[in-house]
Amino acid sequence: MTKHLKFNHLLLLLLTTILSITHLTSAIDLLFNGFGPSDVSRYLHASIESRILTLNNGRALYPSRIPTKQPNSSLVLPFSTSFVFAIIAPPHQGNSIRSNGVVFCFVPRDGVSCSNPTAHFFGVVFVFDTGQYYEEIDDNRVEINVNSSVSVRAHESGYWPDDGRGFRRLRLANGRNYQVWIDYVGGVVNVTMAPVGIVNRPNRPLLSVPFNLSDAFGDEMYVGFEGFRRDGGPLGESNKILAWSFSNTNFSFSEGLITSGLPNLELPKTPIHRTKGFVAGRRNQWRIGNWSIWPHRLAYQEIESATNGFSEENVIGVGGNGKVYKGVFSGGLEVAVKRISRESNEGLRAFTAEISSLGRLKHRNLVGLRGWCKKDKGNLILVYDYMENGSLDKRVFECDDSKMLSFEERSRILKQVASGVMYLHFGWKSKVLHRDIKASNVLLDKEMNARLGDFGLARIHDHDDKSDGATSLVGTVGYLAPEIVRSGKTSTETDVFGYGVLVLEVICGRRPIEQGKPLLVDWLLELLRKGELINGVDPRLRTNGVFDERMWKR
């Protein structure tokens, strides 16, 4: 017990040092590949079914306000958002004016209607409207509204392809999936859209409007969507949001959206009342498949082609259950492909654990699971986001001085891992125990941001489950908390212990167990007893010319 308390004291000292010389930045990153009941607050005629958000004269807002202005300033924080939407408006008889649309909006209160603003308001509207309020604009259009339901700028819906062949119009109410990108930076609002699966984000935006949004934004705002449907059109009209990302720090965050394999809501060519896809007033309305099973099952042929037939030249890692390959899909998306042998019971358990846990989690500091494949009488395959800079252990223990991580980089990475662990324990609808936090399971993306991966030992528990379950001994020697060794019981505390060992090895530049040397924790406890804890810092950090010993001693 005494030794455990000393370790906690040592860990506290190191964490305090890290936090004392760096500052935490406030960042909002939202990523929803499909929606769960707690992801957005819904009002009026808004619902979630099969993980698709449906808005028929209803609103859906992120449950909490987000900061939208810089502290003690009127300057609006930059933001970047992307989403996939579909408007379904079957043709009907008569000459009545019809209007269907989707609004991405910021509002000051959750009770304020996006389309009828009475206070601070910013919205981008995608509307199919036969009212022809704009004689010079098509009845399919995109509008930017600021503090009013009257647009400050509008353009017929469409996109400018990068091939330079001219503007291409898009019809909004045909049920087709469209992806939208909205950025605000440098006082300019940029709005871009394109059909999903046809083109990547076009370089030229549809709308680019210089505008000072200071008067439209409070210090904090709600963000989300409204859908509207006017004229009481036929049953089956609806507005769908299939995926959404938002960030005020990372303008490439939308790359985490999964746009392949989405439900096809496109209207059939034959009259609506003759199709099997839609039966007005009956049970079988808009059968769109089992979208609730996530992530997506991928075709084996696609994965095989992406990895050049699982070529040895594409191997980027080897684990206990199989090899990891770099793959490139036809659209240019780089991925990491883990191939697990079905002959291994451990491999099958790991495969199932990854899909059931990581497959439903989305966080900026967790490796993204793109999809999976289970080939008959073959291998089990998991497809992840590709991490350009490899694993953390390689950058701490197996690199030359030119690639050595600085103290600032190490501390930032450790805080990012802590953010991911916090999300696992408290940020999702269930509590997730990783059970194998270590340097080789922390991966670094192209911006050197940390992503916690390898959920093969993960377990999911209810938040009110105090037992957390007793299991056989699992984890990696050197990272195991004493209670795991004694009882086999894992908990959030044992995850935190493993994270603590990770902090020590990254700052000290020593693995938890090294041949011919005392255990890392024992060695540091002895240095602490002698008052020489400063000597535990990675010697390469102490000799690179920027080491401040006085800071460490404080």
Query: Which is it for the CA torsion 53, 58, 62, 67, positive or negative?
Result: positive
pLDDT score recorded for residue 390: 92
pLDDT score recorded for residue 308: 93
Pick the closest to residue 227 from 40, 43, 38 (CA basis): 43
pLDDT score recorded for residue 250: 83
Rounded alpha-carbon distances, angstroms, from residue 269 to 87, 101, 236? 16, 22, 16
Pick the closest to residue 217 from 147, 112, 144 (CA basis): 147
The DSSP symbol for 470 reads B
Condensed to tens digits (0 to 9), the pLDDT of residues 410-428 reads 999 999 999 999 989 888 7
- Rounded to whole angstroms, the Cα distance separating 309 from 327 reads 10
Instruction: Using the predicted structure, report yes or no on whether residue 511 has a pLDDT greater than 50.
Output: yes
Which stretch, 64-68, 111-115, 330-334, 404-408, has highest mean pLDDT?
Answer: 64-68
Q: List, in sequence order, every residue forming a beta bridge with 44; answer none if it has no partner.
A: 58
**Range list for CATH 3.30.200.20 in the chain:** 300-385
Instruction: Using the predicted structure, report yes or no on whether residue 463 has a pLDDT greater than 80.
Output: no
**Range list for CATH 1.10.510.10 in the chain:** 2-24+393-553
Pick the closest to residue 339 from 295, 293, 303 (CA basis): 303
Q: Which of 129, 393, 436, 445 is catalytic?
A: 436
34-287: CATH, from 2.30.40.10, 1.10.287.130, 2.60.120.200, 3.30.540.10? 2.60.120.200
Whether 436 is catalytic: yes
**Mean pLDDT along residues 252-263:** 83
Strand order in the sheet with 369-374: 296-297, 369-374, 380-385, 334-340, 322-328, 315-319
Instruction: Using the predicted structure, report yes or no on whether residue 366 has a pLDDT greater than 60.
Output: yes
492-508 vs 520-530: helix crossing angle, rounded to 10: 70
Condensed to tens digits (0 to 9), the pLDDT of residues 482-492 reads 777 677 788 88
Pick the closest to residue 308 from 328, 323, 289, 282 (CA basis): 328
pLDDT score recorded for residue 100: 74
Burial class (CB in 10 A: 0-12, 13-18, 19+), 322: buried
Q: What is the pTM (predicted TM-score) of this model? A: 0.52
338 is an annotated ligand-binding site residue: yes
Domain 300-385 matching CATH 3.30.200.20: the answer reads yes
Quick one: pLDDT band at residue 50, thresholds 50, 70, 90?
confident
**Range list for CATH 2.60.120.200 in the chain:** 34-287
The CATH class of 2-24+393-553 is mainly alpha
Q: What is the mean pLDDT of the chain?
A: 79
Answer whether the bond into residue 295 is a cis peptide, omega within 30°.
Answer: yes
- Please state, for a pLDDT cut of 90, what percent of the chain lies above it: 32
Indicate the range of 27-36, 121-130, 165-174 predicted with least confidence: 121-130
Pick the closest to residue 126 from 73, 169, 174, 85 (CA basis): 85
pLDDT score recorded for residue 352: 78
